């Protein structure tokens, strides 16, 4: 089936199998290998990308279902040579160890900060106090992204720094 996607700002016309996941299309058809295949079941978050600005696990998203939409992968997060504040914070605060989950963590963090800025509550939001970006809130919002190395301290600190920057 023919689909058209805008990936990292570039329109792509692709011929894909109707069973192909967005992750496989990104990696195999577009050679953008930053997004990782971790569990291939939507449980680890290593494949997280932004779809129309919202985070999705791309291993569970069929490419044919996103025809005409905008996808941002880790390769499209920076503005040219200038790193996104989340990327810079991950470097500055050691928000990674082996790095396998880092692309998904960063894409998710970018979306988390947008959700927070837009006033979206999370399960950690008590509903009575003003929405506050703190470590508890970040941990809850990032809970769909797993890190086998356990670099959570650096990840949470990086998201917090990028959120207040």
pLDDT digits (tens, 9 = 90+) for 74-88: 999 999 999 999 999
Residues 55-68 as b/e (b if ≥16 CB within 10 A, e otherwise) read bbbbbebbbbebee
Q: What is the mean pLDDT of residues 88-105?
A: 96
Check whether 51 has a pLDDT greater than 80.
Answer: yes
- The average confidence (pLDDT) of the chain is 96
Q: Which of 129 and 45 is assigned the larger pLDDT?
A: 45
CATH of 85-164, one of 3.90.380.10, 3.50.50.60, 1.10.150.120, 1.10.1740.10: 1.10.150.120
The per-residue pLDDT for 131 is 82
CATH of 2-76, one of 3.60.20.10, 3.30.200.20, 3.10.20.30, 3.40.50.300: 3.10.20.30
Check whether 129 has a pLDDT greater than 80.
Answer: no
Check whether 28 has a pLDDT greater than 90.
Answer: yes
User: 23, 89 in Cβ contact below 8 A?
Assistant: no
């Amino acid at each position: 089936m023919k689909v058209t996607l805008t990936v990292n700002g570039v329109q792509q016309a692709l011929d894909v199998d109707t069973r192909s996941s967005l992750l496989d299309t990104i990696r195999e058809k577009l050679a953008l290998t930053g997004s990782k295949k971790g569990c291939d079941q939507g449980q680890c978050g290593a494949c997280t990308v932004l779809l129309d600005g919202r985070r999705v696990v791309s291993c569970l998203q069929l490419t044919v279902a996103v025809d005409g939409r905008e996808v941002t992968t880790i390769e499209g997060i920076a503005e040219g040579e200038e790193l996104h504040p989340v990327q810079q914070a991950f470097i500055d605060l050691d928000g990674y160890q082996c790095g396998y989950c880092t692309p998904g963590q960063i894409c998710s963090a970018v979306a988390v900060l947008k959700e927070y800025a837009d006033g979206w509550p999370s399960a950690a939001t008590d509903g009575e106090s003003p929405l506050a970006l703190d470590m508890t809130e970040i941990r809850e919002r990032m809970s769909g992204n797993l890190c086998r190395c356990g670099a959570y301290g650096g990840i949470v600190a990086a998201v917090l720094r990028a959120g207040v920057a």
